[in-house]
Amino acid sequence: MQTTSTPVTNEALAPLSADRRVFRWHDHASLWFSLGVGLLVMQVGAYLMPALSTQQALLAIVCGSLIGAGLLGWMAKIACESGLASAGLMHSVFGRRFASLPIILNIVQLVGWGTFELVVMRDATVAIGRQSGTMAQTWWPMVATLLWGGVVMALISGSMVQLVRRVIARVALPLVVLSLLWLTWQFLSLANAQGLSQLWNRPGEGGMGVMPALDLVIAMPISWLPLVADYARHGTSGKGALRGTWLGYALANIWCYSLGVLVALTLPSTDLVTALLLAQGGLIALSLILIDEVDNAYGDTYSGAVSAHSLMPDWSVRRWGMVVAVACTALAMVLPMHSLEPFLLLLSSVFVPLFGVILGRLSGLGERTQQLLSNALNVHAVPVAIWIVGIAFYHLLPKLAPDLGSAIPTLVVCFVLARLSRK
């Protein structure tokens, strides 16, 4: 007896149908505000001190956040109008075979970010536990890692859309906003007691210029560029995706970076978590932020699963999600927290030119991007060449013009070259 098998559908490379596009601008805003909040962001904000003056640090934070979040919003608009995930956009621009390289790099960095998030959550959990007089035993970090990894696995088994619209928007977001308001009030009160005017006019000690600091700030939202399309394609309107993503992430990024600077000014400490715990009510506020941190790990896991599914569609997104979650949990159990700055800047060196090319090639095309995907060759030589040149340019700039920064010039150059070479 002859049987016919149903062909496997590659969800990552097919435009999302209209009936599945349910995100409105406030859904995008809720999601990206929640993803923009994190202990990691606060820690990087604290890294800006004492090298920069207070005013220089805040200038870099505001400008970098607006630019970085604007790029996220721009990419969200492209993804929403085309209905394509990040993997589909990469196929359209770089070719069906070559796109596997940036997709694999994306999976690697997502596993790395997911691992980082679990390490942050583990360390924060143990710090909170020890502050309350528990978790003194050496095995608690392993237990905490397994606990948070299990939470991510449980979430990845459900619906991403329902998670965003019901859990994040209705529950997590109000709690995390209240926590940020409380911590901001506590550290502003401490700053006022120490002399707010003096802290505001505090000079920098040198070692980092404003433009390199801008690069460091931009690196955080840029690290989300490979993910934004996986969520934005569920939107009902390209303009709504742009506004919601930009507003949500910019507000969260500015707030958390600035809070990190405020903590570093008022309570200098190498351990941000310990500093936050010293604030009145810090235990409760930090616990709520820690719970919100789960969606960051979930975001990395989900997008990693979508990218992996694009390469091997025989496995569903949900199944790949479990694999990615297990990998992140296993790595988090053996990896310590390393220096973040080199990691963030290394990611930028790859993904800044990559998405400069994608933005230059796809901006303004709307649904015509689907036609580019259908007609894609194995390799599109010109975009590939621009990307490679962009990576080299990114690494050469610090030697040629150390005060200029790398992210913005590289992005502009790649965008212009990609736009000029577009047919």
Q: What is the pLDDT of residue 5?
A: 40
Asked whether residue 360 is domain-assigned, the answer is no
- Nearest residue to 411 via CA among 394, 423, 392: 394
Q: Is the pLDDT of residue 136 over 70?
A: no
Instruction: Find the length of the chain.
Output: 423
Most confident of 98-102, 264-268, 335-339: 98-102
Asked whether residue 194 is domain-assigned, the answer is yes
Contact between residue 91 and residue 99 where contact means Cβ atoms under 8 Å apart: yes
Q: Average per-residue pLDDT in the chain?
A: 85
- Phi first, then psi, for residue 366 (nearest 5°) are 60, -130
Compute CA 359 distance to the chain's CA centroid, rounded to the nearest angstrom: 18
Asked whether residue 13 is domain-assigned, the answer is no
Burial class of 33 by CB neighbour count within 10 A (0 to 12, 13 to 18, 19+):
buried
What average pLDDT does range 177-204 have in this prediction? 88
User: Tokens in use for 129?
Assistant: 């536990």
The radius of gyration of the chain's CA atoms, rounded to the nearest angstrom, is: 21
Confidence band (pLDDT; 50, 70, 90) for 337? low
The residue to which tokens 């719970």 are assigned: 291
Asked whether residue 365 is domain-assigned, the answer is no
3-state secondary structure of 23: strand
The residue to which tokens 């505090």 are assigned: 202
For the chain, how many helices (H) and strands (E)? 20, 0
Q: What is the pLDDT of residue 69?
A: 94
Q: Is the pLDDT of residue 75 over 80?
A: yes
Asked whether residue 42 is domain-assigned, the answer is yes
User: Tokens in use for 195?
Assistant: 């002399």
The residue to which tokens 């500093």 are assigned: 275
Asked whether residue 163 is domain-assigned, the answer is yes
Asked whether residue 78 is domain-assigned, the answer is yes
DSSP state letter for 359: H
Contact between residue 36 and residue 256 where contact means Cβ atoms under 8 Å apart: yes
Asked whether residue 143 is domain-assigned, the answer is yes
**What domain range includes position 288?**
21-339
- Phi first, then psi, for residue 235 (nearest 5°) are -80, 155
Q: % helix / strand / coil in the chain, to the nearest 5?
A: 75, 0, 25
What average pLDDT does range 324-341 have in this prediction? 78
Q: What is the pLDDT of residue 1?
A: 39
CA distances from 39 to 34, 131, 209, 354, 364 (A): 12, 17, 24, 27, 36
Q: What is the pLDDT of residue 287?
A: 77
CATH number of the domain that residue 138 is part of: 1.10.4160.10
Q: What is the pLDDT of residue 7?
A: 47
Most confident of 2-16, 97-111, 241-255: 241-255
Distance CA 76, CA 269 (A): 37
Q: What is the pLDDT of residue 406?
A: 81
State how many domains the chain has: 1
- Nearest residue to 230 via CA among 72, 348, 414, 394: 72
